Amino acid sequence: MLRIAVLVSGGGSNLQAILDAIDSGKLDSVRVELVISSNREAYALKRAESRGIPTMVIDAHDWPGPRERDDKLLEVLNELNPDLIVLAGYMKILPESIVGRFPRKIINIHPSLIPQFCGEGFYGMRVHRAVLEAGETTSGATVHYVDEGVDTGEVLLQEQVPVLKGDTPESLAARVLETEHRILPEVINRLSREVK
Ligand code: GRF
């Protein structure tokens, strides 16, 4: 059984995709042990709660600064000692203290074809806006390991998504999100087979 912690900040549709894959039997050896949110308003928390999954809020506003917040996060993750940490729309950059403690045990989903449109400043709608401004005809989604850099870790799976004429950042984001929802559970499934 692969015990995972999922880190979220917002809507949590990727978390939902993981939970749905567990429910439908596609992720038969995965258990979500804890959902941690950097934002107490995140709808992702409701999704976890309605499934009876333990949740925790580690919101920067409750701590003197990001360092203290990250120390708390490290403490919680150390105690839980999950097999895998999944960043599913987690909007904070993990410090080296956490990344170094869990080498090849943290994965992230990014809404572009890494190494394009990623790194510092490329998050949320900014990614899709930049893709459209650059006149790209193809975008995509990438699941990768998290290392000390921003979006620089080894790519685990990547899938292309067409950019359509008349796309807005919102319409492109919605199409990319559908792909995210498919490839994130797929990678988790693959990793769960490896630990068996
Ligand atoms: C996704 O596009 C993800 O790639 C990005 O943030 C968005 C989160 O969506 N990092 P959700 O919270 O999973 O609905």
CATH code of the domain covering residue 40: 3.40.50.170
Domains held by the chain: number:
1
In a domain, 130, yes or no: no
Is 151's C-beta closer than 6 angstroms to any atom of ligand 1? no
26: containing domain: 2-109+144-155+179-194
Q: How far is the CA of 12 from the centre of ligand 1 (A)?
A: 7
Residue 116 lies inside a defined structural domain of this protein: no
DSSP reduced 3-state for 115: coil
pLDDT digits (tens, 9 = 90+) for 125-146: 999 999 999 999 999 999 999 9
172 assigned to some structural domain: no
Q: What is the pLDDT of residues 155-169, one digit of tens each?
A: 999 999 999 999 999
pLDDT confidence of 196, banded at 50, 70, 90? Answer: low
Closest by alpha carbon to 107, among 37, 25, 1, 5?
5
Query: Which residue reads 């984001």 in tokens?
Result: 173
The owner of tokens 């869990």 is 102
Say if ligand 1 is within 6 A of residue 89 CB.
yes
